C-alpha cells in the first residue's frame, strides 16, 4: 500500500514537472517569435507578441525588459519606463536593465525620484538591489535563525557570551529587512507610471475640475484612491491630484 | 507674555481709578511679590527690575519726543441720537506735553472737558507716545454737523487737526448683518464698531502674478480676544500663508479704530473674473456685566490687552463670527504679443546676476555657473535660465535654492573641446506685470580658456595576456538602449510572489509556535532541575502507577510477599514524593502527623492505615493471605493514590 502511494506521488510530481516544462517551452517558442519580430524592427507587433505571453499568465524579467525595449523603439517612453519597472521586480541587479532604465529617464528629462529622508534613501537603495522574493527569503531565514539560536540557548544550558549580541544583530537585520520589504510591497502595490505624453492632475475627479499640476510622461506616482475612471495620485513632491485612469498604469497590473 | 505686556505699558494720569494700571501690569509681568519678609537679594532684584523699567520708559519718552508732533481730532462714533453723548478726542502724537485746547462754541452741541490721557507704547519695536484731551459732546438738535478744523498754538508752533462730521438723529433700531453675536449690544450699531475688510493691493492682475492682500479687523470701543479660524474663500487662486502684522491705530472717516491686520499673497490660477472672500473670523467679545465705563477711547480697547484690569467677575464673553464683504478681482491671461519664443512663464520684476568660475580649465573639467535671479514676483514660475549655445558643453541639471526674494541656480557645465573661448550668454525672460511687457535679461558671454586634456585623461586599455599598455585617443561614445534578451529566463506565474504564498505564512507561524513551545518546555525543564520538591511531586503519580502495575503482576503470579513488599514500597515512595519526605521512614504514624493539619477525609486516612497494617502483617508474620485480601489491598492503594492526586494537597 505504502509502495503504491509512493509511486502515485512520484507520477504526480513527474506530471507537474512535465507540464511546467511544456509550458516553459511553449512560452519560450512564443518569446523567440516575438524576438524575431523585434529583430525585423516590427516593434509594435513584437510588443503585441510579448503582451500575449503576459496575458497567458506567465511572466519574467526578460519578458518585461524586451517589452520595454519595444515601447522605447516606438518612442512610447512612459510605457517603456513602466515595463522596465516591472522587469526590476524580477532582475533588480541586471546591468542592461539599469542602463536602459536610466537612458529612458534621460530621454524624458526626468531625474530619479528619491525619498526625502536619508533613512528612506538608504532603504530604497537596499531594496533596489534585491528582488521582492529575495527579500522575503532573507526575512524567513533571519526569523528561522533567531528561532534556532533561541532554542539552542534554551536547551543547551550554556550561556554563551555571543548569544545576546548575535540575537541583537539578527533582530536589527530582521527589522531592516521587514521595513524594506514592506516599503517595496507598498511601492509595487501603489506605484504607477504616467504613460500618456502629458496628464493633467485636477482638484476633483472630473473633466471640468480645475487643473492643479501637470504630470509628464514616465513620472512615477503613488495611487491613493480610485473614483470611477479617475485615480487620486500623489507625486514625489507630495502634490495630490486626480488623473484619468488611461493616463497612468499601475506597476503591478 | 512678559514682553508683550511690557511693550504695551500704558500710564494714565487722569480718570477713574486707572492710575495704578502700571503697577498692575508690572505685577502680572512676574516681578517678584513678597509681602513683608523680602530678603536682601529679592529686594535687590526687584530694585534692578524697577530701575530697568524706569530707564526703559524714560528712553521711550525721549525717543518719542524726537519725532514730529501731529494733531488728530476724532470722535468715538459719527452717528449719535438726541439724548445721548459722544466723546471727542484731541490726540497729540509723539509728545506727552500739550495744554488743554479751549473749545469754541460748537453748533448743535454742548461740550465739557473730561481730562487728559497719556500713552506710551511699543508696537513691533516702534516706540510712540501721545496725549489725548477728552471732551464730552451732548447734541442739542438733529442734523449733520461739521466741527473743526481745530487749531492750537503752543511754544511758537501751530497744530491743526482735520474736520469731523457728526450726524445727530432720533434714536434708531440696530441694523443687522456682518456680525453674529449673542452680546447685549443691540443699542449700538455693532457693524460700525467691529468689521472685517479684505484689501487686495490691486483688483486687476495677470495669471500667476502675486497679489498681496490684507485682511483687516477694525474695532472701536470693544474688547476682543481669542481670534481664531480665519478662513478665506479664494476659488481660482493659490493662497500663501497668513502672516500676523500685529495691531495698530488707524483713522477712518474721522473715527479712530484699533486694527489687527493679517497679510498674505494670492496667485491667480486661471484667467477670468473672480470674487475674493468672504473672509470669516471667529473671536470672543468681552462685555462688561454692569454699566460700561463711559469716556473710554478706542485706544483703550486693544483687543484683549485690558483684560488684566480686574477682568474676572466684571466681564461676560460672547462668541462672534465676523464676515467680510466679497471683493471682485480680474485675472488676465498673459499677452501673446511679443511673447519670447522660449518664455518659461516667469512673472514679476527680476534682476539677473551671473558669475562663471574657474575661467581656465581643461577639456572635461567642470565650470560652475552661479546664476542669481532677484527681485519681486512669483519665484515658483522662475526656471533656470538657458545658455545661448549648449552644443559645446555637457550641461548638468542645476542645483536650485530659493529664498524669499531670490532664486539661485548653480549649474555645472563641461567644455567638450579646447577650441571653446567663452561661455555663451545666459538669457532670462519674464513678464513684468507693472509695465505689462515681456523683458529679456542677458548676461555674458564670459571669457573661458580651455586647455587640452592631460595625457592621463586618455583611456588606458591593458590587453589580456600582454603586459604592454596601449593608449587610445578619447572616443565619442554613442548611446542607445541595450539589445533584447534572447532567453525568457525562468517564467513564473503572474502575480505569485513568495511573500504571498501559504508556505511563507505557515513557515513563520510554525516557527513562532516552536519558539513558544520551546520556551515553555525549557522553563519546565529548568524548574524540574532546580526545584526537587516540584520534581518529586510531579514524578509521584507516574512512579505509583508503575508500582501498582508491578503489584498486579505479583498478584497474578501469586507472589504474596513480593506483592506486599511492592505495595508497601509504592505507597511509601508515593507519600515521600508527594510530601517531600524521606521515603524510607514513612509509616502510618508519620503520615497521620503530616495530614492532621490538612483537609483529608477520615476514610482515606483509614485506608492508608489499613494498607500499612496489611503489609506489616503479611511481611512480618507467617499468616496466609487470601487472594481477595490482596485484591482488596491493591484496590485500596489505587483509591488512596487517586484521592490524594485529586485532593491537591
ipTM of the complex: 0.81
Tally of domains in chain A: 3
Is residue A113 situated within a structural domain?
no
Q: Residue B49 above 70 pLDDT?
A: no
Q: Residue A16 above 70 pLDDT?
A: no
Q: Which of A189, A208, A234 is the last residue of a domain?
A: A189
Judged by a CB distance cut-off of 8 A, whether residue B312 touches chain A is no
Q: Which of B46-55, B167-176, B272-281, B301-310 has the lowest mean pLDDT?
A: B301-310
Please list every residue in chain A whose beta carbon sits closer than 8 Å to the beta carbon of residue B482.
96, 99-100
Q: Which of A146, A163, A189 is the last residue of a domain?
A: A189
Predicted local distance difference test score (pLDDT) of residue B649: 67
Is residue A230 situated within a structural domain?
yes
Predicted local distance difference test score (pLDDT) of residue B297: 42
For B597-631, how does the pLDDT look when each residue is reduced to its tens digit (9 = 90+)?
A: 777 788 888 888 888 888 888 877 766 777 888 88
Comparing CB atoms, the residue among B495, B497, B521 nearest residue A133 is B497
Judged by a CB distance cut-off of 8 A, whether residue A23 touches chain B is yes
Q: Residue B29 above 50 pLDDT?
A: no
Per-range mean pLDDT, top range of A174-183, B175-184, B598-607: A174-183
Same domain for A200 and A183, yes or no, is no
Is residue A155 situated within a structural domain?
yes
Task: Name the DSSP class of B188.
Answer: S
Q: Residue B467 above 50 pLDDT?
A: no
Which has more confidence, B112 or B309?
B112
**How many Å lie between the alpha carbon of A142 and the closest alpha carbon of chain B?**
11
Q: Which of residues 366-425 of B touch A (CB under 8 A)?
A: 397
Counting Cβ atoms within 10 Å, is residue A231 exposed (0-12), middle (13-18) or buried (19+)? buried
- Quote the mean pLDDT of chain A: 87
Q: Residue B86 above 90 pLDDT?
A: no
Same domain for A94 and A37, yes or no, is yes
**Alpha carbons A68 and A84: distance in angstroms, whole number:** 6
Question: Are the CB atoms for B243 and B471 separated by under 8 Å?
Answer: no
Q: List the domain range (segments joined by +) for residue B283.
A: 179-331
Please list every residue in chain B whose beta carbon sits closer than 8 Å to the beta carbon of residue A127.
none
Comparing CB atoms, the residue among A58, A66, A150 nearest residue B491 is A58
Four-CA torsion B9, B11, B15, B19, nearest 10 degrees: 100
Q: Residue B437 above 80 pLDDT?
A: yes
Comparing CB atoms, the residue among B482, B486, B511 nearest residue A99 is B482
Is residue A131 situated within a structural domain?
yes
Tally of domains in chain B: 4
Please list every residue in chain B whose beta carbon sits closer than 8 Å to the beta carbon of residue A62.
485, 487-489
For Cα atoms B105, B108, B110, give the angle at the middle one, nearest 5 degrees.
Answer: 55
The grid coordinates listed for B89 are 478726542
B511–A144 C-beta distance less than 8 A: yes
Judged by a CB distance cut-off of 8 A, whether residue B40 touches chain A is no
Is residue B479 situated within a structural domain?
no
The CATH number covering residue A219 comes to 2.30.30.40
Q: List the domain range (segments joined by +) for residue A156.
A: 118-189
Same domain for B137 and B221, yes or no, is no
Same domain for A82 and A18, yes or no, is yes
Reported pTM? 0.43
% of chain A with per-residue pLDDT over 90: 57
Same domain for B133 and B39, yes or no, is yes
Same domain for A184 and A199, yes or no, is no
| Three-class DSSP category at B345 | coil
The CATH number covering residue B5 comes to 2.60.40
Same domain for B557 and B609, yes or no, is yes
Same domain for B353 and B445, yes or no, is yes
B492–A60 C-beta distance less than 8 A: yes
**Alpha carbons B416 and A237: distance in angstroms, whole number:** 34
Same domain for A71 and A139, yes or no, is no
**How many Å lie between the alpha carbon of A156 and the closest alpha carbon of chain B?**
10
Complete DSSP assignment for B224-268: EEEEEEEEE--TTEEE---EEEEEEEEEETTEEEEEEEEEEEEEE
Predicted local distance difference test score (pLDDT) of residue B580: 82
Comparing CB atoms, the residue among A59, A150, A185 nearest residue B515 is A150
Same domain for A182 and A200, yes or no, is no
Which residue in the block uniquely carries the three cell numbers 517564467? B491
Same domain for A208 and A151, yes or no, is no
Same domain for A220 and A181, yes or no, is no
Average pLDDT over residues A140-158: 87
CA-nearest residue to A46 within chain B is: B484
β-pairing verdict for B406-415 and B393-395: antiparallel
Which has more confidence, B206 or B228?
B206
Same domain for A180 and A216, yes or no, is no
A58–B495 C-beta distance less than 8 A: no
pLDDT tier, A200 (very low <50, low <70, confident <90, very high otherwise): very high
Is residue A74 situated within a structural domain?
yes
Same domain for B258 and B399, yes or no, is no
Judged by a CB distance cut-off of 8 A, whether residue A27 touches chain B is yes
Same domain for B225 and B247, yes or no, is yes
**How many Å lie between the alpha carbon of B522 and the closest alpha carbon of chain A?**
6
Q: Residue A49 above 80 pLDDT?
A: yes
Same domain for B408 and B327, yes or no, is no
Same domain for B150 and B185, yes or no, is no
Q: Which of B331, B357, B377 is the last residue of a domain?
A: B331
Q: Residue B12 above 60 pLDDT?
A: no
For A22-34, how does the pLDDT look when each residue is reduced to its tens digit (9 = 90+)?
A: 666 778 888 999 9
Same domain for A103 and A20, yes or no, is yes
Predicted local distance difference test score (pLDDT) of residue B316: 65
Comparing CB atoms, the residue among A62, A136, A151 nearest residue B485 is A62
Q: Which of B126, B146, B170 is the last residue of a domain?
A: B170
H/E segment holding residue B555: helix B532-556
Provide the total of helices (H) and of strands (E) in chain B, helices listed first.
Answer: 10, 36
Same domain for B136 and B158, yes or no, is yes
Same domain for B153 and B46, yes or no, is yes
Judged by a CB distance cut-off of 8 A, whether residue A137 touches chain B is yes
Same domain for A207 and A158, yes or no, is no
Neighbouring-strand partners of residue B41: none
Four-CA torsion B559, B563, B564, B570, nearest 10 degrees: 160
Judged by a CB distance cut-off of 8 A, whether residue B480 touches chain A is yes
Judged by a CB distance cut-off of 8 A, whether residue A105 touches chain B is no
Q: Which of A80, A107, A134 is the last residue of a domain?
A: A107
Is residue A181 situated within a structural domain?
yes
Residues composing chain A = 253
What are the strands, taking DSSP E only, across B382-433? 386-387, 393-395, 399-403, 406-415, 422-423, 426-432
Predicted local distance difference test score (pLDDT) of residue B68: 78
B498–A132 C-beta distance less than 8 A: yes
Judged by a CB distance cut-off of 8 A, whether residue A227 touches chain B is no
The CATH number covering residue B556 comes to 1.20.120
Q: Residue B81 above 80 pLDDT?
A: no
Please list every residue in chain B whose beta carbon sits closer than 8 Å to the beta carbon of residue A135.
499
- Quote the mean pLDDT of chain B: 75
Is residue A183 situated within a structural domain?
yes
Neighbouring-strand partners of residue B460: B471
Q: Which of B400, B430, B451 is the last residue of a domain?
A: B451
Q: Residue B122 above 80 pLDDT?
A: no
Is residue B518 situated within a structural domain?
no
B483–A63 C-beta distance less than 8 A: no
Predicted local distance difference test score (pLDDT) of residue A201: 93
B486–A35 C-beta distance less than 8 A: yes
**Alpha carbons B229 and B455: distance in angstroms, whole number:** 69
Same domain for B94 and B65, yes or no, is yes
The stretches of chain A forming alpha helices (DSSP H) are 2-39, 43-55, 61-73, 77-90, 95-107, 118-128, 132-156, 163-190
Per-range mean pLDDT, top range of A110-124, A143-157, B61-75, B162-176: A143-157
A210–B270 C-beta distance less than 8 A: yes
H/E segment holding residue B431: strand B426-432
B269–A132 C-beta distance less than 8 A: no
B499–A185 C-beta distance less than 8 A: yes
Same domain for A234 and A166, yes or no, is no
Smallest Cα–Cα separation from A63: which of A93, A41, A33? A33
Is residue A112 situated within a structural domain?
no
Same domain for B45 and B23, yes or no, is yes
Task: Count CB neighbours of A29 within 10 A.
Answer: 11
The CATH number covering residue A19 comes to 1.25.40.10
Average pLDDT over residues B278-290: 73
Is residue B341 situated within a structural domain?
no
Neighbouring-strand partners of residue A240: A234
For B319-355, how does the pLDDT look when each residue is reduced to its tens digit (9 = 90+)?
A: 778 888 888 888 888 888 878 877 878 888 888 888 8
Amino acid at each position: 500500500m505504502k509502495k503504491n502511494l509512493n509511486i502515485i506521488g512520484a507520477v504526480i510530481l513527474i506530471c507537474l514537472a512535465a507540464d511546467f516544462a511544456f509550458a516553459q517551452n511553449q512560452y519560450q517558442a512564443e518569446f523567440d517569435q516575438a524576438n524575431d519580430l523585434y529583430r525585423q524592427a516590427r516593434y509594435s507587433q513584437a510588443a503585441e507578441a510579448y503582451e500575449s505571453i503576459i496575458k497567458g499568465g506567465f511572466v519574467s524579467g526578460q519578458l518585461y525588459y524586451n517589452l520595454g525595449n519595444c515601447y522605447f523603439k516606438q518612442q512610447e517612453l512612459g510605457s517603456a519606463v513602466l515595463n522596465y519597472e516591472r522587469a526590476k521586480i524580477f532582475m533588480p541587479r541586471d546591468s542592461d536593465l539599469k542602463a536602459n532604465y536610466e537612458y529612458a529617464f534621460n530621454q524624458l528629462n526626468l531625474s530619479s525620484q528619491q525619498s526625502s529622508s536619508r533613512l528612506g534613501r538608504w532603504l530604497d537603495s537596499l531594496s533596489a538591489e534585491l528582488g521582492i522574493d529575495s527579500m522575503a527569503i532573507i526575512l524567513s531565514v533571519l526569523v528561522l535563525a533567531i528561532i534556532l539560536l533561541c532554542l539552542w540557548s534554551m536547551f543547551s544550558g550554556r550561556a554563551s557570551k555571543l548569544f545576546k549580541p548575535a540575537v541583537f544583530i539578527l533582530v536589527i537585520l530582521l527589522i531592516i529587512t521587514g521595513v524594506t520589504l514592506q516599503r517595496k510591497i507598498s511601492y509595487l502595490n501603489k506605484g504607477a507610471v504616467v504613460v500618456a505624453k502629458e496628464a493633467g492632475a485636477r482638484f476633483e475627479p472630473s473633466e471640468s475640475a480645475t487643473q492643479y499640476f501637470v504630470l509628464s510622461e514616465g513620472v512615477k506616482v503613488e495611487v491613493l484612491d480610485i473614483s470611477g475612471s479617475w485615480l487620486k495620485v500623489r507625486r514625489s513632491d507630495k502634490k495630490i491630484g486626480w488623473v484619468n485612469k488611461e493616463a497612468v498604469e499601475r506597476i503591478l497590473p | 507674555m512678559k514682553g508683550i505686556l511690557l511693550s504695551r505699558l500704558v500710564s494714565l494720569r487722569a480718570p477713574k481709578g486707572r492710575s495704578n494700571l502700571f503697577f498692575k501690569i508690572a505685577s502680572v509681568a512676574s516681578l517678584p511679590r513678597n509681602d513683608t519678609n523680602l530678603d536682601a537679594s529679592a529686594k535687590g532684584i526687584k530694585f534692578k527690575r524697577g530701575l530697568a523699567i524706569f530707564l526703559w520708559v524714560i528712553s521711550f519718552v525721549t525717543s518719542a519726543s524726537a519725532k514730529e508732533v501731529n494733531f488728530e481730532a476724532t470722535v468715538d462714533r459719527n452717528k449719535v441720537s438726541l439724548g445721548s453723548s459722544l466723546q471727542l478726542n484731541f490726540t497729540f502724537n509723539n509728545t506727552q506735553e500739550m495744554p488743554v485746547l479751549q473749545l469754541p462754541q460748537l453748533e448743535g452741541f454742548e461740550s465739557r472737558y473730561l481730562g487728559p490721557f497719556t500713552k506710551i507704547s511699543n508696537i513691533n519695536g516702534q516706540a510712540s507716545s501721545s496725549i489725548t484731551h477728552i471732551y464730552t459732546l451732548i447734541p442739542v438738535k438733529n442734523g449733520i454737523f461739521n466741527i473743526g478744523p481745530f487749531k492750537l498754538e503752543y511754544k511758537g508752533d501751530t497744530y491743526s487737526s482735520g474736520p469731523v462730521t457728526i450726524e445727530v438723529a432720533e434714536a434708531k433700531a440696530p441694523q443687522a448683518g456682518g456680525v453674529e453675536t449673542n452680546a447685549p449690544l443691540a443699542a449700538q450699531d455693532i457693524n460700525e464698531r467691529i468689521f472685517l475688510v479684505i484689501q487686495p493691493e490691486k483688483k486687476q492682475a495677470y495669471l500667476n502674478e502675486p497679489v498681496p492682500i490684507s485682511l483687516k479687523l477694525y474695532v472701536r470701543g470693544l474688547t476682543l480676544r481669542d481670534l481664531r479660524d480665519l478662513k478665506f474663500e479664494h476659488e481660482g487662486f493659490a493662497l500663501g500663508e497668513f502672516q500676523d502684522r500685529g495691531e495698530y491705530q488707524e483713522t477712518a472717516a474721522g473715527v479712530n479704530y484699533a486694527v489687527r491686520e493679517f497679510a498674505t499673497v494670492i496667485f491667480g490660477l486661471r484667467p477670468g473674473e473672480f470674487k475674493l472672500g468672504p473672509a470669516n473670523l471667529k473671536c470672543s467679545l468681552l462685555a462688561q456685566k454692569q454699566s460700561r465705563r463711559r469716556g473710554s477711547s478706542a485706544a483703550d480697547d486693544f483687543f484683549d490687552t485690558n483684560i488684566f484690569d480686574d477682568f474676572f467677575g466684571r466681564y461676560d464673553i460672547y462668541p462672534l463670527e465676523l464676515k467680510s464683504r466679497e471683493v471682485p478681482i480680474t485675472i488676465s491671461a498673459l499677452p501673446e504679443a511679443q511673447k519670447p519664443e522660449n518664455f518659461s512663464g516667469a512673472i514679476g520684476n527680476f534682476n539677473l546676476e551671473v558669475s562663471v568660475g574657474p575661467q581656465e580649465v581643461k577639456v572635461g573639467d567642470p565650470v560652475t555657473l552661479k546664476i542669481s535671479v532677484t527681485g519681486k514676483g512669483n519665484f515658483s514660475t522662475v526656471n533656470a535660465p538657458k545658455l545661448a549655445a549648449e552644443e559645446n558643453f555637457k550641461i548638468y541639471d542645476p542645483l536650485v535654492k530659493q529664498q524669499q526674494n531670490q532664486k539661485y541656480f548653480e549649474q555645472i557645465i563641461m567644455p567638450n573641446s579646447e577650441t571653446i573661448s567663452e561661455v555663451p550668454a545666459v538669457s532670462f525672460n519674464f513678464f513684468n506685470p507693472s509695465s505689462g511687457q515681456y523683458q529679456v535679461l542677458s548676461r555674458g558671454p564670459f571669457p573661458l580658456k580651455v586647455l587640452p586634456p592631460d595625457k592621463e585623461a586618455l583611456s588606458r586599455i591593458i590587453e589580456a595576456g600582454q603586459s604592454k599598455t596601449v593608449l587610445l585617443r578619447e572616443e565619442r561614445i554613442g548611446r542607445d538602449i541595450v539589445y533584447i534578451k534572447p532567453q525568457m529566463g525562468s517564467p513564473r506565474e503572474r502575480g505569485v510572489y513568495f511573500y504571498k504564498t501559504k508556505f511563507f505564512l505557515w513557515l513563520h507561524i510554525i516557527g513562532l509556535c516552536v519558539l513558544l513551545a520551546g520556551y515553555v518546555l525549557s522553563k519546565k525543564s529548568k524548574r524540574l532541575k532546580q526545584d526537587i520538591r516540584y520534581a518529586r511531586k510531579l514524578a509521584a503519580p507516574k512512579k505509583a502507577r508503575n508500582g501498582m502495575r508491578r503489584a498486579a503482576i505479583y498478584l497474578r503470579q501469586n507472589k504474596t510477599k513480593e506483592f506486599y513488599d511492592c505495595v508497601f514500597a509504592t505507597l511509601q515512595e508515593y507519600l515521600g514524593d508527594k510530601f517531600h519526605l524521606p521515603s524510607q521512614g514513612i509509616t502510618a504514624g508519620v503520615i497521620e502527623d503530616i495530614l492532621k493539619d490538612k483537609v483529608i477525609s477520615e476514610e482515606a486516612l483509614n485506608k492508608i492505615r489499613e494498607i500499612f497494617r496489611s503489609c506489616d502483617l503479611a511481611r512480618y508474620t507467617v499468616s496466609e493471605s487470601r487472594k481477595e485480601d490482596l485484591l482488596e489491598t491493591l484496590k485500596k492503594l489505587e483509591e488512596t493514590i487517586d484521592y490524594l492526586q485529586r485532593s491537591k494537597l
